[in-house]
Amino acid sequence: MSKVAFITGVTGQDGAYLSEFLLKKGYQVHGLKRRSSLFNTDRIDHLYQDPHVDHQNFFLHYGDMTDSTNLIRLIKEIQPDEIYNLAAMSHVAVSFEIPEYTGNADGLGTLRILDAVRLLGLEKKTRIYQASTSELYGKVQEVPQSETTPFYPRSPYAVAKMYAYWITVNYREAYNMYACNGILFNHESPIRGETFVTRKITRAVARIALGLQDKFHLGNLDAQRDWGHAKDYVRMMWMILQADEPEDWVIATGKTTRIRDFVHMSFAEVGIELEFKGEGEDEKAYVTKCNNPKYQLEIGKEVLAVDPRYFRPTEVELLIGDATKAKNKLGWECQYNLNDLVKDMMASDIKVMQEQQYLEKGGYKTMNYFE
């Protein structure tokens, strides 16, 4: 009998990679998707199976993290061996705009999953993975950050995730449930949401190199993040649920990089060198060399400016994770380093933007560039 997994947030970056991973392992995978007025399944369309054929092992169900009765019914019907709770309003800056909704979906949503499992009497059968985050560490208390570092959340998102973290621990202790937090540091990929900083950068660099756009804007260039590849991180979500005992785990690369260095690396990938001039809100980046004959960029061209619109009311300045526990007890190691990640993202975005360039040359309007 194949194992049954239920993934909330199946249409997101991690949900898509985790679905692929579990299907390859022979799982039957059920995913929660939201109803939307346009299709929102781009990242998992390649996994879609016609429900009219036999041997279907990938199923999508409508639902929402704010809807308890829906979650209880689905978990009752699916009877999952493993639940991966990945659904969340996951954008830190946006959480300042919609704090109450973020608390409801990200904080109480986690309670709804845990309590559904308890109410249905599935405590002994169903293992639960909670998508916790390095944002819990917030204002720097110690570096590198490990499972014992105190939390100091700095956004409505992080505060909601702090509730989710502790309610997971509490249900584990109170009801003897197999429920774990994966405290994952930032992980990115070619299918990362377009408004997270890495993808915003790789998309803009590809468009600038191809002459589709002149420049783009960023906020805090000095924040530092511990970036890994999402493919490595979803493997760890599964490994966390295979451990003998339910515990909480930090997953990170142990290296940190400034946003401005990610900008340099992304431009360098297409043969363009930059220099930054000015300070704070007046900082800008200019082309100093263009080593690739395919891309015709003028030396001295301004390609990036700081826009204070992207500053956050409270910022998380430095994240660097210590994943020693996961290395020693779960055998965690990453296959991708930051260079591999940048290469993967740039190659993919150049391809996406070349398709747009082709359509635009043919007189078709493709898309606007949203920052």
200 touches ligand GDR by CB under 6 A:
yes
Query: By rule CB under 6 A, what string of x and - marks binding of each residue 127-166 to ligand NDP?
Result: ----x-x---------------------------------
H-only helix segments in the chain: 13-24, 68-78, 92-95, 99-102, 109-119, 156-175, 197-209, 230-242, 259-269, 324-330, 338-361
Q: Give SS3 for 305.
A: strand
DSSP string for 172-217: HHHH---EEEEEEPPEE-TTS-TTSHHHHHHHHHHHHHTTS-S-EE
Instruction: Give the chain's length.
Output: 371
Beta pairing class for 272-277 and 284-290 = antiparallel
356 touches ligand NDP by CB under 6 A:
no
Q: Which of 5, 6, 11, 348 binds ligand NDP (CB under 6 A)?
A: 11
**Which letter does DSSP use for residue 151 in this model?**
P
Would you say 87 or 338 has its CB closer to ligand NDP? 87
The pair of three-digit structure tokens given for residue 127, joined into one six-digit string? 């293992």
Q: Which residues pair with 182 in a beta bridge?
A: 131, 249
Q: Which does 65 bind (CB under 5 to 8 A by kind): ligand NDP, ligand GDR, none?
A: ligand NDP
Would you say 65 or 218 has its CB closer to ligand NDP? 65
321 touches ligand NDP by CB under 6 A:
no
Q: Which does 223 bind (CB under 5 to 8 A by kind): ligand NDP, ligand GDR, none?
A: ligand GDR
Q: Which does 12 bind (CB under 5 to 8 A by kind): ligand GDR, ligand NDP, none?
A: ligand NDP
Would you say 4 or 318 has its CB closer to ligand GDR? 318
Q: Which residues of 198-213 are buried (b: 16+ CB within 10 A; e: fewer)?
A: bbbbbbbbbbbbbebb
Site for ligand GDR in 92-121 (CB under 6 A): 92-93
184 touches ligand NDP by CB under 6 A:
yes
Phi/psi at 318 (nearest 5 deg)? -140, 120
257 touches ligand GDR by CB under 6 A:
no
Query: By rule CB under 6 A, what string of x and - marks binding of each residue 60-99 to ligand GDR?
Result: ------------------------------x-xx------
Q: Which does 345 bind (CB under 5 to 8 A by kind): ligand NDP, ligand GDR, none?
A: none
Would you say 196 or 295 has its CB closer to ligand GDR? 196
The pair of three-digit structure tokens given for residue 13, joined into one six-digit string? 């970056």
Single-letter amino acid, residue 135: E
66 touches ligand NDP by CB under 6 A:
yes
For residues 133 and 90, the answer to whether their CB atoms sit within 8 Å is no
* Interface segment toward ligand GDR; rule CB under 6 A; list 45-53, 141-149, 191-199, 325-333: 191-199
Would you say 68 or 357 has its CB closer to ligand NDP? 68
> What is the C-alpha separation between 30 and 57, in angstroms, rounded?
8
C-alpha dist (Å) from residue 32 to 9, 58, 345: 6, 11, 27
Q: Which of 10, 83, 218, 353 binds ligand GDR (CB under 6 A)?
A: 218
202 touches ligand NDP by CB under 6 A:
no
CB count in 10 Å sphere of residue 325 = 17
Q: Which of 20, 64, 226, 322 binds ligand NDP (CB under 6 A)?
A: 64
For residues 60 and 31, the answer to whether their CB atoms sit within 8 Å is yes
> What is the C-alpha separation between 237 and 245, in angstroms, rounded?
14
Q: Which does 219 bind (CB under 5 to 8 A by kind): ligand NDP, ligand GDR, none?
A: ligand GDR
Nearest to 92 by CA among 141, 17, 159: 159
Provide the binding-site residues for ligand NDP, judged by CB under 6 A.
8-15, 32, 34, 36, 40, 64-66, 86-90, 105, 131, 133, 184, 186-187, 193
